[in-house]
Amino acid sequence: MRRRIAARFAAAGIALICVGPFAPAWAGEDGPLVWAPSRTGANAYKLRLGIRSSGRWEAASGAELSMKAVPSGKIIPPEAPVRLWGSVSRQGGPRAAARSSRVSMGFNPLTGTGNVGAGTARTWIVTPTVDAEVQRNIAVQCNVYEKHCDQPKLTQSARLSSTATKTSIAVESGLSAVGFSGLDSIGVEQRVGNLKLGAAVADPLLAPRSLFTLRYNGKW
């Protein structure tokens, strides 16, 4: 009983941090700290913490904490309760046709699984109220304990965003050694302040399933 009560209080605490009415007041727009809680499932939460350094290249690193529980309140040990992450990114070009590059990495010390990815993004101003963005990424996953790596996977996405309503329509597809996966997902995203709400259909052509996300990002 005590475990259930503790789990429920912990889940409620993380949920309050993610969507609570006071969360935007704690976070500023600029600063060296990264704080990004998110709800990844019905009873699953994730909190990304880190430090950022600005300059010609922006570098950031930190840890990601995960927690999951069943409806009764019992905590389920996640596969990656603590995950280390890091990234280096750079942006350039005019706002009408901006470009950015990014290299990211992550490591799970419990299982030895790590991943490295690199990507580029281009953004255009289509109309005064509509922006378009195209992203291309390549990623590979390895296990340092078992000393093997999976085949790299290439993903690309396209997004149309309304600057007036903060609403976006996103489409994503992928390519791996197995072949072209076709349409991986299609969905809608809505920004409300620092909150980002999402609803998508994954694998809509073969085995469609719905996905809902709620994220909060803050810098201070």
Sign of CA dihedral 70, 76, 82, 87: negative
Tell me the Ramachandran region of residue 178: left when phi exceeds 0, alpha when psi lies from -120 to 50, beta otherwise: alpha
Question: DSSP letter at 79?
Answer: S
pLDDT, residue 162, reads: 96
pLDDT, residue 30, reads: 55
pLDDT, residue 143, reads: 94
Q: What are 151-182's pLDDT values in tens digits?
A: 899 999 999 999 999 999 999 998 876 666 67
pLDDT, residue 29, reads: 40
92 within 8 A of 100, measured Cβ to Cβ? yes
Find the CATH number of the domain harbouring 203: 2.40.160.40
Burial class of residue 25 in the structure, from the number of CB atoms within 10 Å of its CB (0-12 exposed, 13-18 middle, 19+ buried): exposed
Q: What are 183-209's pLDDT values in tens digits?
A: 889 999 999 988 999 999 998 888 899
pLDDT, residue 174, reads: 87
Sign of CA dihedral 176, 122, 54, 35: negative
Per-residue pLDDT of the chain (220 residues; tens, 9 = 90+): 444 444 444 444 444 444 443 333 333 345 688 888 888 777 888 899 999 998 888 999 999 999 888 888 788 877 778 999 999 999 887 777 889 999 999 999 988 999 999 999 999 999 999 999 999 999 999 999 999 999 899 999 999 999 999 999 999 998 876 666 678 899 999 999 889 999 999 988 888 999 898 887 665 5
The CA-atom distances, in angstroms, between 185 and each of 21, 55, 136 are 31, 34, 15
DSSP string spanning 30-66? S-SEEEEEEEEETTEEEEEEEEEE-SSSEEEEEEEEE
H or E segment to which residue 8 belongs: helix 2-19
Q: Which two tokens stand for residue 182?
A: 């076709």
**Tally of CB atoms within 10 A around 28:** 11
Evaluate if pTM is beyond 0.75.
no
Domains in the chain, number: 1
Tell me the Ramachandran region of residue 117: left when phi exceeds 0, alpha when psi lies from -120 to 50, beta otherwise: beta
In terms of residue numbers, what domain contains 18?
Answer: 2-219
